[in-house]
Amino acid sequence: MKAFRMPSIEKLRQLYSTRIRSLFDPLTAAIGRSGITPNQLTVAGLLLAAVTAVLVWYGRFYAAAATFTAGGLMDMLDGAVARLSEKVTPLGAFIDSTFDRLGEGMVLTAIALYYARDDNLPMVGAAFATMIGSFLVSYTRARAEALGLDCKVGLMTRAERMVLLAVGLALQRFGVLVVVMYILAVLTAVTVLQRILHVRRRFQEKQREGAAGDAPAVTPSPKTDSGGRQP
């Protein structure tokens, strides 16, 4: 069980996420002053994902990599702008998460359809396996948090998936996208398993804590003297 926790990866992810976000602090502040809302950035990210899907269908992979990266930037900035401008709302978070899944699904479907034209069924399978795995990675976290548990563990969160997919799109002509899709198909499944085991372990810990709390206290019996009388 402990092998799936991989605390070093969690620390590394937190480190590079913090540093990357800090690089965009001036841009975030400028967007906040401009009056652009977080929801507008979220919609822009979805539109860029749709454009990426169209470009993939037509085999324009360099352009697809550019629009996909720009969409990922929108995805990163919408939350940062919301926090900076104090416009964080449950509805905004819900829309952001939903549009993220929709955009990712469109791009992965376009990749599957592109390779289906060449009857490359293994790539079609890898694309759809990645999509299912990506949705389950997000669902397991959302469901765990609804049950009161934190669940951000795992190798292949959204940030890692987007970086790998952007690299694969940019280097598709060299066969990198094929390798990336197989990697994503496997590692998203591994991440789902990591989160399932994490939630299982946390519930087992809570059950043990609850059992320890419910155990009756043992009151020591009073001592007696040699005549059988209590002192």
> Which candidate, 48, 46, 10, places its Cα nearest to that of 152?
10
Handedness of CA 102, 85, 30, 14 (dihedral sign): negative
Residue with tokens 């605390």, as numbered in its chain: 7
CA dist 71 and 155 (Å) reads 22
CA dist 41 and 68 (Å) reads 14
CATH topology of domain 18-207: Four Helix Bundle (Hemerythrin (Met), subunit A) (1.20.120)
Q: How confident is the model at residue 138 (pLDDT cuts 50, 70, 90)?
A: very high
Least confident of 32-46, 77-91, 179-193, 198-212: 77-91
Cα→Cα distances 62→34, 37, 107, 108, 149, Å: 30, 29, 14, 16, 40
pLDDT in tens, 199-208: 999 999 988 8
> Which candidate, 94, 101, 111, 87, places its Cα nearest to that of 45?
101
Return the pLDDT at 229.
45
> Which candidate, 199, 138, 220, places its Cα nearest to that of 1?
199
The structure's pTM equals 0.82
User: Angle, to 10 degrees, between the axis of helix 7-23 and the axis of helix 61-84?
Assistant: 90
Domain ranges of the chain: 18-207
Helix (H, G, I), strand (E, B) or coil at 41: helix
Average pLDDT over residues 34-62: 94
Q: How confident is the model at residue 51 (pLDDT cuts 50, 70, 90)?
A: very high
Average pLDDT over residues 104-129: 97
Percent of the chain with pLDDT over 90: 58
pLDDT in tens, 183-228: 999 999 999 999 999 999 999 998 888 777 665 555 555 554 444 4
Return the pLDDT at 10.
66
pLDDT, greater one: 162 or 83: 162
Return the pLDDT at 104.
96
Backbone φ, ψ for residue 223 (5° rounding): -75, 155
CA dist 164 and 91 (Å) reads 29
CA dist 139 and 135 (Å) reads 6
pLDDT in tens, 16-26: 566 666 777 78
Return the pLDDT at 226.
44
